[in-house]
């Protein structure tokens, strides 16, 4: 795939851009960069979304479309963004002056999407922090039915015992703890009446954002050290939980259920859509993060190898997480004398906060395992949040350096405060409904469309030959035919396939037996459109503000601009 040295580079790609040599801080070491990229790509979705999607779509058979979508779609896009950021050494807004100026609205759209993500993603960490603090109790509070928040329907599941009070209408202590104590969702009737702010979660959220601020306020010098903990801790916990899981009774039944292939499912188009969406959202191109992180690399860093290593670690982590989750689900099925499909009915956060916590509570040293598990959840979330906000900070500071570069700490403080205020809508009593709405509409279709336009702009307007020439300047080799075909044809088709699949059927949202009203679909698409509108709005603005005839304006709009500096200054090593 690497290809061979090839002299066929365009004149514009024969020398590094001047801004590649300008004063800019660098990663202190290669591990700082790799851990930041891996930490960003490996997020909460690897733990709860991949295992569920895998078993739902044919078990081991799902790995076939998943790996194919990774090879022909996800990894080429991942590689492309790392190369762009490293070559031009700038964020996702300013970079478009070098590629195709009229597409600069993509950068602004990415920043809006990143804000929407921060509005709900950190709330899940606040839930985990609530659980982590509760793990210090000698008796975990989600193991009994005699708490103030419990209802008469609460019952312990004790099959085979004569005093078993469990019925089909019963609810478990773990479910009531999550719904009635942590979320307090019973105090909201839905999106029509969300209720007031849940002060416990608001304080947990404030603590999360405080950690976020002090991790990124000084740039990669601080965040590069934080990821040594947040990116490595999850793997330590995963291996501990895996070792504990495989020793539980019924664990191997869970593993077999997870991996048992159902090859007939490959004939279902939904399986391929789920595989494509999972790998795209897992690797995370399109959020401006990969460009931002790579922009602090040495110009000749081997970003090709970094892309392969990071993508491989991401996929392996998803696969490993499946074993961690399903060994415990197999144990729960054995404990309840039920089949695994019944036990695994919860999806998304509920899989972690209800099913998994209930299983942890039945183990010896339950408080310890609960503590490290939720510490892992927080670490996974922090990595992605730090990288996501760093992508916004880098983009805005590179676009307005004279105003903001010397005021980074204040800008980051304002950004974090804005994200916290926006997140308060997700820590009201009905906040879980808002989280679901953001997750389904505010980021999904919008980010896929943005990535599609990005790869079209780079491959067809900027030119794949010119881009490959840039890569050759950095790495010493011209990308091979495989990569060129992916960037020009396969990756755009991969993205277009996901876009059409997403937009062809409006999702019917349901959460905790609450069916979202029809108007939320309109609201959801409006949220997605509010970020994407930046692209056509900037195109119109740029075209109208450019002088000349229509033909001259169009030509200038798609012609890369060269950044000219009065003098070159050496790169700063922090």
Residue ranges of the binding site for Na(+): 39, 41-42, 46, 282, 314, 380, 383-384
> For 401-410, b where at least 16 C-beta lie within 10 A, e where not — what string?
eeebeeeeee
Handedness of CA 124, 228, 203, 173 (dihedral sign): positive
Distance CA 56, CA 172 (A): 24
* 572-573 and 514-515 beta bridge pairing: unpaired
Look-up of token digits 């404990």: 335
Q: At what angle do helices 75-88 and 269-283 cross, to 10 degrees?
A: 20
Q: Show the beta-strand stretches assigned E in 273-381.
A: none
Please count the other Cβ atoms lying within 10 Å of the Cβ belonging to residue 206: 15
The secondary element (H helix, E strand) that includes residue 66 is helix 63-69
SS3 26: strand
> For 437-464, b where at least 16 C-beta lie within 10 A, e where not — what string?
bbbbbbbbbbbbbbbbbbbbbbbebbbb
CA-angle at 357, arms to 356 and 362, nearest 5°: 100
The two structure tokens encoding residue 34: 């790799």
The two structure tokens encoding residue 335: 């404990």
DSSP letter (8 states) at residue 559: S
SS3 352: helix
The two structure tokens encoding residue 6: 């090839």
Region at 178 (left for phi over 0; alpha for psi -120 to 50; beta for the rest): alpha
* Closest C-alpha among 461, 392, 415 to residue 96: 461
**Intra-chain end-to-end CA distance of the chain, in Å:** 34
Q: Are 524 and 506 contacting, i.e. CB atoms less than 8 angstroms apart? A: no
DSSP letter (8 states) at residue 25: E
Distance CA 508, CA 523 (A): 13
Q: Are 501 and 493 contacting, i.e. CB atoms less than 8 angstroms apart? A: no
SS3 433: helix
The DSSP secondary structure of 423-464, one letter per residue, reads HGGGSBTTHHHHHHHIIIIISHHHHHHHHHHHHHIIIIIIIH
* Closest C-alpha among 270, 190, 223, 253 to residue 574: 223
- Binding residues, by number, are 39, 41-42, 46, 282, 314, 380, 383-384
């Amino acid at each position: 795939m690497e290809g061979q040295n090839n002299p066929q580079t365009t004149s514009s790609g024969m020398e590094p851009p001047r801004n590649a040599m300008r004063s800019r801080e660098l990663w202190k070491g290669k591990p700082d960069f790799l851990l930041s990229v891996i930490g960003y790509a490996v997020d909460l979705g690897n733990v709860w979304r991949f295992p569920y999607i895998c078993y739902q779509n044919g078990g081991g058979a799902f790995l076939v479309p998943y790996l194919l979508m990774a090879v022909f779609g996800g990894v080429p896009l991942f590689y492309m963004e790392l190369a762009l950021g490293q070559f031009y050494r700038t964020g996702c807004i300013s970079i478009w002056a070098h590629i195709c100026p009229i597409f600069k609205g993509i950068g602004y759209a990415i920043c809006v999407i990143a804000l929407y993500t921060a509005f709900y993603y950190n709330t899940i960490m606040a839930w985990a922090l609530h659980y982590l603090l509760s793990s210090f109790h000698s008796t975990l509070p989600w193991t009994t039915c005699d708490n103030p928040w419990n209802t008469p329907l609460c019952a312990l599941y004790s099959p085979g015992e004569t005093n078993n009070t469990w019925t089909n209408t019963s609810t478990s202590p773990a479910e009531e703890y999550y719904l009635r104590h942590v979320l307090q969702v019973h105090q909201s009737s839905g999106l029509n009446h969300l209720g007031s702010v849940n002060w416990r979660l608001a304080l947990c959220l404030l603590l999360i954002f405080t950690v976020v601020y002090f991790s990124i306020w000084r740039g990669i010098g601080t965040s590069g050290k934080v990821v040594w903990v947040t990116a490595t801790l999850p793997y330590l916990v995963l291996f501990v939980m895996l070792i504990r899981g495989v020793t539980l009774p019924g664990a191997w039944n869970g593993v077999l259920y997870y991996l048992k292939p159902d090859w007939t499912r490959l004939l279902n188009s939904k399986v391929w859509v789920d595989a494509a969406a999972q790998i795209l959202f897992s690797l995370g191109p399109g959020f401006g993060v990969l460009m931002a992180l790579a922009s602090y690399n040495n110009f000749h860093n081997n970003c090709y190898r970094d892309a392969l290593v990071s993508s491989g670690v991401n996929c392996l982590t998803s696969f490993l997480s499946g074993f961690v989750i399903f060994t415990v689900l197999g144990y729960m099925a054995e404990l309840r004398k039920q089949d695994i499909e019944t036990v695994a009915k919860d999806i998304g956060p509920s899989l972690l906060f209800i099913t998994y916590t209930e299983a942890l509570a039945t183990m010896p040293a339950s408080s310890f395992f609960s503590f490290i598990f939720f510490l892992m959840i927080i670490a996974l979330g922090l990595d992605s949040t730090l990288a996501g906000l760093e992508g916004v900070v880098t983009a805005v500071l590179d676009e307005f350096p004279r105003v903001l570069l010397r005021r980074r700490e204040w800008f980051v403080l304002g950004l974090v405060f804005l994200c916290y205020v926006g997140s308060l809508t997700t820590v009201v009593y009905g906040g879980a409904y808002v989280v679901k709405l953001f997750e389904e509409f505010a980021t999904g279709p919008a980010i896929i469309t943005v990535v599609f336009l990005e790869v079209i702009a780079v491959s067809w307007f900027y030119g794949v030959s010119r881009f490959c020439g840039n890569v050759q300047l950095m790495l010493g080799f011209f990308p091979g035919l495989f990569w060129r075909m992916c960037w020009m044809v396969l990756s755009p088709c991969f993205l277009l396939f996901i876009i059409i699949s997403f937009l062809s059927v409006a999702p019917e949202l349901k959460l905790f037996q609450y069916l979202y009203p029809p108007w939320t679909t309109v609201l959801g698409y409006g949220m997605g459109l509010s970020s994407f509108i930046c692209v056509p709005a900037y195109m119109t603005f740029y075209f109208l503000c450019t002088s000349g005839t229509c033909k001259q304006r169009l030509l200038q709009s798609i012609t890369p601009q060269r950044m000219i500096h009065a003098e070159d200054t050496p790169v700063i090593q922090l």
